[in-house]
């Protein structure tokens, strides 16, 4: 199998999906350099620094779970400060809220990439972590040596593969930081403090700059604010107003469908490309969360609280209402099964059975045979003989006789009273 120079080079900015994707990227890059680094390459053409950075990242990633497990250990948390009351169906119960930490991402003076966490609000005990060795602090989650040196492989011109490989390794390092923050976010509320940012040209890393939270936050918010502006112009209301008014009506006990109809008919809300109001509201809440904005605090007037949709609304059932509806339907079906079954109108034509055939089963006519079987079936709360099973020919007559004998009716006398079954 021949590998082209771009076979395993991943787009270095393509790390938006938080997962253990970092492991896959490191494996791909290792396979890439093994396939594209012939022995004939001299030291001037080899990506020496980015190759070292890849090995350092593999080492740092293998030790990251130990630091993360120590941070996730509840024995190191200040439980008294995290206890809170949570409202459930059984009333208020004790629960633990998520601890808050700050994660710093920076390049140290020697040019290494460091990811550290710092406690806030006394959520984590100050004496819980002690220095493990003489090199790194105990609050460090990821430490990658040689990050700054890898840019020497990009500064040189004339080798496209080396530039792409170095850019992919540097992008993988930033992706690893994103993955670490995502993994820590499972148990913690995290405030990010990025002090480094990469510079890109056509999806290739060309340098880095030391920055602060404000600069990085402005860059992050720019496309989100543009999306928020497009959304608000499309629906005709601000996200703050949509969520604020919706919550005000929810406090009055209105359903989502009814709130959407009121906003549409009385507040000029246009669902636009959204088929349902619930999708419109979820999108507004998502945008507010991404821009760290709060909805409006709305107090409905008496006139607004009594508004009703102009057009009728088909409201969806809640879980409790749906469950009660299913129980009622099952009860109705059970009661219906207990009601007497009507005997259908049978055809006039009967199978001309001989006297010997009728005498063998203890009846005098085909009609008496049908009546005795139906009496037994109805007494057992079962359905009577259908029109399709009525013995109008020899085949259907023999089938009914077999059923008659299987029910044990041929052992009863004609005057026996069939007692209905109880229950």
Is 183 within 8 Å of 68 (Cβ atoms)?
yes
Q: What is the pLDDT of residue 6?
A: 41
Q: What is the pLDDT of residue 18?
A: 42
As to burial, measured by CB atoms within 10 angstroms (0-12 exposed, 13-18 middle, 19+ buried), residue 263 is buried
Band (132; pLDDT cuts 50, 70, 90): low
Instruction: Report the distance separating Cα 381 and Cα 388, nearest Å.
Output: 20
Residue 127, pLDDT > 70, answer: no
pLDDT (mean) for 30-37: 77
DSSP state of 297: -
Instruction: Report the distance separating Cα 33 and Cα 26, nearest Å.
Output: 11
First to last CA, the chain: 74
Q: What is the pLDDT of residue 143?
A: 92
Name the helix (H) or strand (E) containing 82: helix 79-82
Q: Is the pTM of this model over 0.75?
A: no
| pLDDT: which is higher, 105 or 84 | 105
| Residue 84: both structure tokens together | 């809170």
Q: What is the pLDDT of residue 237?
A: 86
DSSP state of 77: B
Instruction: Report the distance separating Cα 190 and Cα 65, nearest Å.
Output: 18
Q: Are strands 140-144 and 204-210 parallel, antiparallel or unpaired?
A: unpaired
pLDDT (mean) for 209-225: 70
| Residue 387: both structure tokens together | 């029109």
Band (4; pLDDT cuts 50, 70, 90): very low
Beta bridge partners of 85: 94
| Alpha helices (runs of H) in 86-238, residue ranges in sequence order | 152-155, 160-184, 213-235
| pLDDT: which is higher, 153 or 110 | 110
DSSP state of 124: B
Instruction: Report the distance separating Cα 128 and Cα 256, nearest Å.
Output: 47
Residue 3, pLDDT > 50, answer: no
Q: Are strands 100-107 and 189-194 parallel, antiparallel or unpaired?
A: parallel
Residue 360, pLDDT > 60, answer: yes
Residue 287, pLDDT > 50, answer: yes
DSSP state of 150: G
pLDDT (mean) for 260-266: 83
Instruction: Report the distance separating Cα 57 and Cα 53, nearest Å.
Output: 6
Instruction: Report the distance separating Cα 210 and Cα 221, nearest Å.
Output: 19
Helices 277-290 and 256-266, axial angle in degrees (round to 10): 90
| Residue 261: both structure tokens together | 């109809």
| Residue 237: both structure tokens together | 């209301």
For residues 220-242, one letter each, b for 16 or more C-beta atoms within 10 angstroms of the residue's C-beta and e for the rest, the string is eeeeeeeebeebbeebbbbbbbb
Q: What is the pLDDT of residue 1?
A: 29
| pLDDT: which is higher, 16 or 68 | 68
Instruction: Report the distance separating Cα 28 and Cα 22, nearest Å.
Output: 10
Instruction: Report the distance separating Cα 222 and Cα 96, nearest Å.
Output: 35
| Residue 6: both structure tokens together | 């771009």
Is 229 within 8 Å of 238 (Cβ atoms)?
no
pLDDT (mean) for 94-110: 84
How many CA within 13 A on the CB side of residue 137?
8
Please tell me whether residue 320 adopts helix, strand or coil conformation: helix
Quote the mean pLDDT of the chain: 76
| pLDDT: which is higher, 246 or 221 | 246
In Å, how far from its chain's centre is CA 39? 49
| Alpha helices (runs of H) in 296-411, residue ranges in sequence order | 302-305, 319-337, 355-361, 366-379, 394-406
Angle at 224 between CA 221 and CA 227, to 5 degrees: 150
Instruction: Report the distance separating Cα 268 and Cα 280, nearest Å.
Output: 14
Q: Are strands 113-119 and 83-88 parallel, antiparallel or unpaired?
A: unpaired
Dihedral over alpha carbons 361, 363, 367, 370 (to 10 degrees): -50
| Residue 368: both structure tokens together | 């008496």
Q: What is the pLDDT of residue 14?
A: 40
| Residue 173: both structure tokens together | 């390092």
Residue 361, pLDDT > 50, answer: yes
306-352, pLDDT tens digit by residue? Answer: 887 776 555 554 555 666 666 776 666 555 555 556 788 888 888 88
Is 84 within 8 Å of 95 (Cβ atoms)?
yes
Band (10; pLDDT cuts 50, 70, 90): very low
| Alpha helices (runs of H) in 185-276, residue ranges in sequence order | 213-235, 239-251, 256-266
């Amino acid at each position: 199998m021949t590998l082209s120079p771009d076979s395993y080079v991943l787009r270095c900015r393509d790390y938006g999906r938080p997962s253990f994707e970092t492991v896959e990227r490191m494996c791909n890059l290792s396979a890439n350099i093994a396939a594209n680094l012939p022995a004939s390459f001299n030291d001037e053409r080899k990506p020496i620094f980015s190759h070292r950075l890849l090995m350092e990242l593999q080492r740092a990633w293998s030790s990251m779970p130990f630091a993360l497990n120590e941070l996730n250990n509840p024995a190191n948390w200040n439980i008294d400060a995290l206890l809170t009351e949570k409202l459930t169906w059984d009333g208020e119960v004790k629960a633990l809220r998520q601890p808050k930490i700050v994660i710093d991402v920076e390049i140290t003076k020697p040019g290494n990439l460091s990811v550290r966490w710092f406690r806030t609000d006394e959520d984590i005990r100050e004496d819980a972590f002690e220095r493990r060795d003489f090199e790194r602090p105990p609050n460090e989650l990821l430490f990658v040596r040689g990050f700054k040196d890898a840019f020497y492989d990009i500064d040189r011109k004339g080798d496209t593969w080396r530039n792409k490989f170095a850019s992919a390794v540097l992008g993988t390092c930033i992706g690893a930081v994103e993955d670490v923050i995502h993994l820590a976010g499972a148990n913690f509320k995290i405030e990010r403090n990025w002090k480094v940012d990469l510079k890109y040209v056509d999806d290739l890393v060309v340098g880095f700059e030391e920055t602060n939270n404000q600069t990085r936050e402005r860059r992050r918010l720019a496309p989100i604010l543009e999306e928020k502006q497009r959304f608000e112009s499309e629906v005709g209301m601000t996200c703050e107003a949509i969520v604020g008014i919706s919550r005000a009506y929810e406090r009055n006990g209105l359903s989502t469908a009814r709130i959407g109809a009121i906003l549409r008919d009385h507040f000029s809300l246009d669902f636009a490309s959204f088929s349902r109001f619930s999708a419109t509201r979820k999108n507004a809440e998502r945008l507010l969360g991404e821009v760290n904005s709060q909805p409006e605090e709305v107090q409905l007037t008496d006139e607004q609280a009594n508004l009703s949709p102009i057009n009728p609304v088909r409201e969806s059932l809640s879980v409790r209402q749906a469950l009660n509806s299913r129980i009622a339907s099952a009860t109705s079906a059970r009661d219906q099964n207990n009601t007497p079954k009507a005997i259908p109108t049978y055809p006039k034509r009967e199978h001309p059975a001989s006297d010997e055939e009728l005498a063998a089963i203890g009846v005098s006519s085909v009609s008496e045979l049908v009546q005795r079987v139906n009496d037994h079936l109805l007494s057992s709360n079962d359905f009577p003989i259908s029109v399709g099973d009525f013995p109008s020919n020899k085949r259907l007559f023999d089938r009914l006789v077999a059923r008659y004998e299987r029910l044990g009716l041929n052992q009863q006398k004609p005057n026996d009273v069939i007692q209905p079954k109880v229950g």
